[in-house]
Every structure is written in C-alpha cells, then in structure tokens.
Amino acid sequence: RTDDEMESEDPEEANAHLKAKYEFLKAKYERLREKYVSLQQANEEGQEQQQNDGPGDDDDDNSKKNEEDDETAADDDESQVNGLKENLLAKQQARTELFGNLLRMKGFLWMANAHDIICVISQAGNIITQEHHNTWNALRGEAWEGDEGTKDQQRKHWKEPWGDRRQEMVFIGLDLDQLNIQELLDDCLLSDEEMALGPDGWKAT
C-alpha cells in the first residue's frame, strides 16, 4: 500500500489493518521459533548419542587411526631430518680435518676420461658440482690459424704436447692445510704408466 492510500484511509480501518498485519507476523514468528527449537533439540540429541557411543565408535576409531598415522609420519620426517643433519655434520667434520676450514673451492679440471672437454668444478660447504663445458683451446681453429695475436691469446696457458689442458683450482678458507690439500690432489693424478697410455688408452680403461 502507498503512503497516499494510508493517509486517505479511515483511522479505524487503518488500525484494523495494522492489527491484522501484526497477528500475521506474530504467527509467522511462532512457526519459525518452533522450527528453530526443533532443530536445536535434534542437534543436542545427536551430540548426546555420539557421546554415548563411546570409544568403540567407528568415527572415533578412524580419528584415532588418522592421528596415529600423522604422528608416525611426523616421526619419520623428523628422523630423516636428524639423519640428514648428522650426515652433513660428519661431512663437514671430515672436510675440516683434511683441509682446514674450507669455505669455497672452484676451478676446472683435465679429466682422462673426458680428454677434450673442460670439466668445471665448484664447491660451497657440503655442496659440490662438476659439469662439462666447452672444449679446450687446443681444439679450436683460432689456436692454429690466423694472426699471431689471436693465436697467442688462445695459447696463453699452452704446454706441449697437450696444449692448454691443465688443472687449475682455487681454495678459499681459514687455516687451510696446504700440504695436505696438495697431497690429496696429487693422489688423483695419473701415474707415469697411466699417462703413457695416451688418450685412447685412457678412454679404453
């Protein structure tokens, strides 16, 4: 109804209309209240039934099993982490005993089983990488042909008969044991007999 209709209506008729509307809304409220009370009672009965079922209930069993599985997985993860920590500490201790407090090492290697390829090595803490990059300059045309300046640049570290193939490494740290490091590296070199085999023999053996 519009405001104009309500202003033009007789006061008694308007009061009767408002009373009827009030009774309608009151009845609707009572129906909603009864529905709410019914739902609340059903919820309370469900909770009481769940409590009365006791620890033998399937849901409780599943919940306990899931908790036990989670605890087992957490224990396994913690055990693996602790094992990894112990392994890293053992490696660090062994490295310190051999080299001193080595922080960083980098350089490139001439590997017998990869005679033509530069091996780049890098170490930081317990992490070490070894990758193969470009060929040595001895296999590049610029080292053999062209002007003298270019050839000199390519032959900067040249030594016959192997060209620029060599070991070149840098060790960075505190209180490093230079003699021990040198001995360990020397043990990695080919013997005179192995060196005499040449590239084909190195690849074959």
Question: What confidence tens digit (pLDDT) does each residue in 8-57 have?
Answer: 555 566 566 666 766 777 777 777 777 777 777 777 776 666 666 555 55
Give the tokens for residue 141.
Answer: 């045309």
Question: What confidence tens digit (pLDDT) does each residue in 126-165 have?
Answer: 888 999 989 999 999 999 988 899 999 999 999 999 999 9
Distance CA 196, CA 183 (A): 22
Note whether 149 and 122 are within 8 A (CB): no
* 5 pLDDT higher than 60: no
Given this model, what pLDDT does residue 3 score?
47
**Residues 6 or more apart whose Cβ sits within 8 Å of residue 167:** 107, 108, 109, 110, 185
Given this model, what pLDDT does residue 59 score?
55
Distance CA 150, CA 172 (A): 33
Question: What confidence tens digit (pLDDT) does each residue in 48-81 have?
Answer: 666 665 555 555 556 665 666 666 666 667 777 7
Question: What confidence tens digit (pLDDT) does each residue in 83-124 have?
Answer: 778 888 888 888 888 889 999 999 999 999 899 999 999 999
